[in-house]
């Protein structure tokens, strides 16, 4: 494990600040110092865990002492020391670059004075995306004693954000922006309600953990992108019988997890099979329609330790797809939801702010939804990303899917033998889960840098995701 990382921000200070100027990236020596300080702080805080849930009187004084020391170490000057040495310089706001920004398939010219495509339009679009963060004070998850997902639920929250965007695109369209007044729509409120922090909400953290048990999901434990995608597949299918939105299921679309050989447990670029997508759509519509809206999830491992540079151009390009839902991933040990790109920087929504648990009532069209949006524009470099990640796409209909396949095939052809994934028409003769390539020559990716060892439980390969 590379670090515990107790990265939690004050709920009242971080979510609604205006964008600030960008700071320079950390040097390699700073990164080394950050690693050392991360180990120091993580180790120091780990001693408090045995006391946290103690109920016996004999340990009460120890618990009080530990809590007091933790408040000192995690607050004020010590917090600033931690942020400086462990988290590095803040990378918020925009750089001085005049290059276009791509945000989930929409291009913005930041140097333009046109309000429709300029900086202001980008900022409005960014702040309209739904953000899910750590929450505290919800009902205990299952049989556990966890009433908060602080320090372990960031991958689950990141995945909730991606699915929430898919629902926004489906119900309200890509051009939807959060209104500045209190006139909220029923569709918008319904979407937020789905992600409430209670077992009654279909896409709550409680429901995700219950559905993902087969892939190692448990309260207080880490999870990687592959297991997260498969858990969503199980959850969505289990909720398909619950018609809650005017006769529609909670997620009114098919879901298809695109993986490589033997469910991604062997090397090679995953293959999106058109026949498989068609089958998923038919199953979703119960055979009444050949096609349906579809959510595509593509878990990937793009290197060892860091993203192989060969994949960076393709990874940057997927943000320009009209069907793009962004990327689950981030730095080692800290999952985020990446939604845009400019040059070599990716913009992301950060789930590591701690906020009180909330469940939006579906009947309350004047609900306070401010905790589901963020105006702070954060970014990290593409080459600093953890290589274990997952890409999402939403295709509204068959024409949209065909357009996506055309773009994906062209991207694979231009990848110089290192495609993120390929597109095929039909299953190959030697496997029910693989497809014959649709004329796409993707070469032989470096097996050493493109392994797909995704377990159903914790192993060393995904230890980075454990605590954040």
Is residue 26 included in any domain, yes or no? no
- What pLDDT, in 10s, does the model give residues 412-465? 999 999 999 999 987 654 444 445 444 333 333 332 222 233 333 333 333 333
Q: Which residues carry out catalysis?
A: 154, 350, 352
- What pLDDT, in 10s, does the model give residues 164-205? 999 999 999 999 999 877 789 999 999 999 999 999 999 999
Compute and round to an integer the Cα radius of gyration of the chain. 22
Is residue 399 included in any domain, yes or no? yes
Is residue 69 included in any domain, yes or no? no
Is residue 61 included in any domain, yes or no? no
Region of poorest pLDDT, from 132-141, 242-251, 263-272, 439-448: 439-448
Is the pLDDT score of 32 beyond 50? no
Q: What is the pLDDT of residue 134?
A: 97
Task: State the Cα–Cα distance between residues 317 and 299, nearest whole angstrom.
Answer: 17
- What pLDDT, in 10s, does the model give residues 198-255? 999 999 999 999 999 999 899 999 889 999 999 999 999 988 877 655 567 889 999 9
- What pLDDT, in 10s, does the model give residues 41-81? 444 444 344 444 444 444 444 445 544 444 443 343 333 33
152 vs 69, more confident: 152
Is the pLDDT score of 354 beyond 70? yes
Is the pLDDT score of 112 beyond 70? yes
The answer to whether 429 touches 259, Cβ cutoff 8 Å, is no
Is residue 100 included in any domain, yes or no? yes
- What pLDDT, in 10s, does the model give residues 322-343? 999 999 999 888 999 999 999 9
The answer to whether 341 touches 121, Cβ cutoff 8 Å, is no
- Report the number of distinct structural domains present in the chain: 1
Q: What is the pLDDT of residue 96?
A: 81
pLDDT cut 70: percent of the chain above it: 68
86 burial via Cβ count (<10 Å: 0-12, 13-18, 19+): buried
Question: How many residues does the structure list for the chain?
Answer: 468
Q: What is the pLDDT of residue 459?
A: 34
Q: What is the pLDDT of residue 33?
A: 45
306 vs 86, more confident: 306
C-alpha count within 13 angstroms, C-beta hemisphere, residue 225: 32
Q: What is the pLDDT of residue 160?
A: 98
pLDDT band at 113 (very low <50, low <70, confident <90, very high): confident
Is residue 32 included in any domain, yes or no? no
Tell me the sheet residues that pair with 102.
107, 341
pLDDT band at 408 (very low <50, low <70, confident <90, very high): very high
Q: What is the pLDDT of residue 435?
A: 57
Is residue 249 included in any domain, yes or no? yes
Structural domain range at position 375: 89-465
pLDDT band at 30 (very low <50, low <70, confident <90, very high): very low
The encoded tokens of residue 245 equal 């939105």
Cα angle value 264/268/384 (rounded, 5°)? 85
User: CA separation (Å) from 417 to 82, 180, 342, 421, 432?
Assistant: 42, 47, 24, 11, 25
Task: State the Cα–Cα distance between residues 151 and 141, nearest whole angstrom.
Answer: 15
Cβ neighbours of residue 185 closer than 8 Å, sequence gap 6 or more? 172, 365
Is residue 184 included in any domain, yes or no? yes
Q: What is the mean pLDDT of the chain?
A: 77
C-alpha count within 13 angstroms, C-beta hemisphere, residue 42: 20
Cβ neighbours of residue 384 closer than 8 Å, sequence gap 6 or more? 306, 331
């Amino acid at each position: 494990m590379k670090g515990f990382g107790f990265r939690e921000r004050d709920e009242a200070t971080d979510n609604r600040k205006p964008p600030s100027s960008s700071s320079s990236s950390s040097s390699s020596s700073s990164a080394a110092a950050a690693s050392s300080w991360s180990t120091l702080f993580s180790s120091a805080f780990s001693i408090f865990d045995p006391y946290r849930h103690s109920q016996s009187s004999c340990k009460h004084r120890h618990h009080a002492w530990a809590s007091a020391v933790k408040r000192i170490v995690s607050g004020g000057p010590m917090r600033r020391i931690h942020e400086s040495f462990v988290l590095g310089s803040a990378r918020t706001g925009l750089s001085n670059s005049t290059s276009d920004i791509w945000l989930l398939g929409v291009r913005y010219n930041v140097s333009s004075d046109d309000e429709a495509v300029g900086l202001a339009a980008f900022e409005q679009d960014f702040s309209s995306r739904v953000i899910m963060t750590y929450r505290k004070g919800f009902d205990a998850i299952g049989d556990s004693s966890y009433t908060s997902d602080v320090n372990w639920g960031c991958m689950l929250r990141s995945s909730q954000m991606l699915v929430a965007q898919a629902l926004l695109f489906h119900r309200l369209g890509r051009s939807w922006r959060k209104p500045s007044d209190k006139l909220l729509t029923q569709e918008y409120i319904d979407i937020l309600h789905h992600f409430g922090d209670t077992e009654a909400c279909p896409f709550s953290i409680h429901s995700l953990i219950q559905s993902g048990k087969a892939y190692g999901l448990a309260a207080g434990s880490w999870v990687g992108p592959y297991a997260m995608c498969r858990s969503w597949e199980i959850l969505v299918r289990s909720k398909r019988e619950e018609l809650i939105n005017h006769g529609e299921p909670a997620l009114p679309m098919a879901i298809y997890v695109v993986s490589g050989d033997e469910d991604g447990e062997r090397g090679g670029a995953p293959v999106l099979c058109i026949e498989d997508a068609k089958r998923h759509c038919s199953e979703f519509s119960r055979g009444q329609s050949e096609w349906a809206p579809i959510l595509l999830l593509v878990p990937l491992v793009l290197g060892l330790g860091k993203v192989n540079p060969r994949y960076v151009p393709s990874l940057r390009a997927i943000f320009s797809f009209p069907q793009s839902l962004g990327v689950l991933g981030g730095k080692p040990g800290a999952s985020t939801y990446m939604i845009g790109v400019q040059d070599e920087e990716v913009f992301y929504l950060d789930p590591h702010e701690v906020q009180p648990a909330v469940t939006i009532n579906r009947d309350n069209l004047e609900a306070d939804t401010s905790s589901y949006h963020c105006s702070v524009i954060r970014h990290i470099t593409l080459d600093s990303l953890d290589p274990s990640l997952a890409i999402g796409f939403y295709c509204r209909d068959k024409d949209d899917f065909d357009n996506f396949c055309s773009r994906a095939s062209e991207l694979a052809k231009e990848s110089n033998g290192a495609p993120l994934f390929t597109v095929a028409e039909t299953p190959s003769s030697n496997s029910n889960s693989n497809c014959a390539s649709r004329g796409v020559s993707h070469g032989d990716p470096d097996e050493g840098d493109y392994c797909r060892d995704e377990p159903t439980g914790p192993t060393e390969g995904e230890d980075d995701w454990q605590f954040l």
